Amino acid sequence: MPTVRLKKRAERSILRRHPWLFSGAIECTEGAPQAGDTVDVLASDGAWLARGAWSPHSQIAVRVWTFTAAQPVGAEWFRARLAAAIAARARWLGDAPRPACRLVNAESDGLPGLVVDRYAGFLVCQFLSAGTEAWRDAIVQELIRLLPATAGVYERSDVDVREKEGLQPCAGVLWGEAPPEAVEIAEGPCRYLVDIQHGHKTGFYLDQRDNRAAVAEFANGREILNAFSYSGAFAVAALRAGATRAVNVDSSAEALALAARNVALNDLDPARLENTQADVFQFLRLCRDARRQFDLIILDPPKFAATRGQVEKACRGYKDINRLAFKLLRPGGLLATFSCSGHVDRDLFQKVVADAALDAGCEARILRWLSQSGDHPCALAFPEGLYLKGLICQVGGTPS
Ligand code: SAH
């Protein structure tokens, strides 16, 4: 097996079981590894440290498969890792007729670069690294063996990060049936339609499952603004929980078309929902100028900071929308505000929201700290895995 030898004193992060080895830590390679090949990682003194996938095009030159020398990486090894990840999701899969759950959360499930989501009978995979690309067929075969009721496996590796690994974007049927235009899933008391082939990411924002339930707890009797709504999942959860009305705002017409269908699917009166295709930054300003108010505002924007260098600009964006949202709340109103930028940490996000409240002239308290759902775990050795953070804040004053 080819080997990668580290520079002197470069083994610290590997010894802490961090799964990424950056190219700058490498002294030399032996055995001419090709992209996706399995390599043994050795310390500068030759001691065995880990076994991983070689990715010559990426700054992350090795993603570690295992820290155990006795584990050969092959179909059986993948079966064991996939089986462990699936077993850990028993609580979300249960006996639900149309379960929706992330089955494999990449590095945090010991399978760097691999994402597998399940929507009822369909599995959706993302192969985000040279290593997962090399093992793609074996991974699909093992998934089908482990989940024999699967109707089809679909690939949604049409994402930019593949470029960093020297891979082309890729999407299509990997096995079995092609998913229908919309797959129906169950989430708590709600039903949602998922467009696996054309939707965002793998089709749905499963990472917000727990947060939709948390927001629904506060929704009864309130008028909701669901900004960056995508297919309106927060609005459906809130309306089912007794919200009087909801407004979805998103820039995507396709997402809003699905949002309208999701309201019908849940037997909700369509008159309680307004779908507005708009830029949220502009929409919030229009509401401010029209003195339009809400009792609960959800802000779930896309990732504003893709790199560390974009953090400052991202924070200006977060502050802008949060400041405007605070201004639109009735006394006693609630703001459920999120950031999915991994580079903006929890403390920084809270500070930005606090600054926004100050600028809006609002006094506000945090009622809840929110994070990603439990089927999107974060390995303790891999803090990068924690990306979604949110707050439910209440502004002062007597509720209307
Ligand atoms: N809350 C959603 C997920 C939101 S994802 C859920 O629970 O399912 C972010 C959404 O923001 C996407 O649907 C994207 O189309 C939309 N978006 C991105 N930039 C926008 C902008 N400037 N104005 C309005 N919508 C935007």
Q: What CATH number is given to the structural domain containing 383?
A: 3.40.50.150
To test the pocket of ligand 1, the residue of 230, 285, 303, 370 to mutate (highest count of ligand atoms within 8 Å of its CB) is: 230
In a domain, residue 200? The reply is no
Domain final position from 176, 195, 226: 176
In a domain, residue 183? The reply is no
| 3-class DSSP assignment, residue 120 | coil
Q: What is the pTM of this model?
A: 0.97
How far apart are the CA of 228 and the centre of ligand 1, in A?
3
| Pair (30, 105) in one structural domain | no
In a domain, residue 110? The reply is yes
Label residues 132-166 b or e (16+ Cβ within 10 Å = b): bbbbbeebbebbbeebeebebbbbbbebeebeebe
Catalytic residue, chosen from 101, 125, 287, 340, is 340
> What does the pLDDT read at residue 232?
98
Question: What number of H helices and E strands is found in the chain?
Answer: 12, 20
In a domain, residue 195? The reply is no
Non-local CB neighbours of 93 within 8 Å, separated by 6+ positions: 86, 99, 101, 118
| Pair (29, 118) in one structural domain | no
User: Is any ligand 1 atom within 6 A of the Cβ of residue 205?
Assistant: yes
Domain final position from 159, 176, 193: 176
Closest ligand 1 atom to the C-alpha of 211?
7
Domain final position from 66, 89, 119: 66
In sequence order, the β-bridge partners of residue 299 are 227, 337
Per-10-residue mean pLDDT for the chain, 400 residues long? 96 96 97 98 97 97 97 97 97 86 98 98 98 98 97 97 94 98 96 98 97 98 98 98 98 98 97 98 98 98 96 98 98 98 97 98 97 98 97 82
| Pair (165, 269) in one structural domain | no
In a domain, residue 235? The reply is yes
> What does the pLDDT read at residue 323?
98
| Pair (155, 217) in one structural domain | no
User: Is any ligand 1 atom within 6 A of the Cβ of residue 218?
Assistant: no
Nearest CA to ligand 1 atom 18: 302
| Pair (248, 391) in one structural domain | yes
Q: What are the E-state strand segments in the chain?
A: 3-6, 20-22, 26-30, 38-42, 48-54, 60-66, 100-105, 114-119, 122-127, 152-157, 170-176, 183-187, 190-194, 223-227, 245-250, 273-277, 294-299, 329-339, 364-371, 389-395
Distance separating alpha carbons of residues 62 and 22, to the nearest angstrom: 7
How far apart are the CA of 174 and the centre of ligand 1, in A?
28
> What does the pLDDT read at residue 95?
72
> What does the pLDDT read at residue 397?
74
> What does the pLDDT read at residue 9?
92
| Pair (164, 263) in one structural domain | no
Closest to 360 (Cα-Cα) out of 299, 319, 388? 319
> What does the pLDDT read at residue 399?
58
| Pair (309, 355) in one structural domain | yes
| Pair (15, 121) in one structural domain | no
| Pair (89, 31) in one structural domain | no
> What does the pLDDT read at residue 398?
61
| Pair (322, 221) in one structural domain | yes
In a domain, residue 197? The reply is no
Distance separating alpha carbons of residues 357 and 171, to the nearest angstrom: 42
In a domain, residue 263? The reply is yes
How far apart are the CA of 251 and the centre of ligand 1, in A?
7
| Pair (213, 230) in one structural domain | yes
Nearest CA to ligand 1 atom 16: 228
Closest ligand 1 atom to the C-alpha of 301?
9
> What does the pLDDT read at residue 385?
97
In a domain, residue 19? The reply is yes
How far apart are the CA of 248 and the centre of ligand 1, in A?
10
Give the structural domain span for 21.
3-66
| Pair (42, 149) in one structural domain | no
- Do the Cβ atoms of 359 and 332 come closer than 8 Å? no
In CATH, what number is assigned to the domain containing residue 150?
Answer: 3.30.750.80
Active-site residue, 362 included: no
In CATH, what number is assigned to the domain containing residue 59?
Answer: 2.30.130.10
User: Is any ligand 1 atom within 6 A of the Cβ of residue 336?
Assistant: no
Please state the domain count of the chain. Answer: 3
User: Is any ligand 1 atom within 6 A of the Cβ of residue 326?
Assistant: no
User: Is any ligand 1 atom within 6 A of the Cβ of residue 215?
Assistant: no
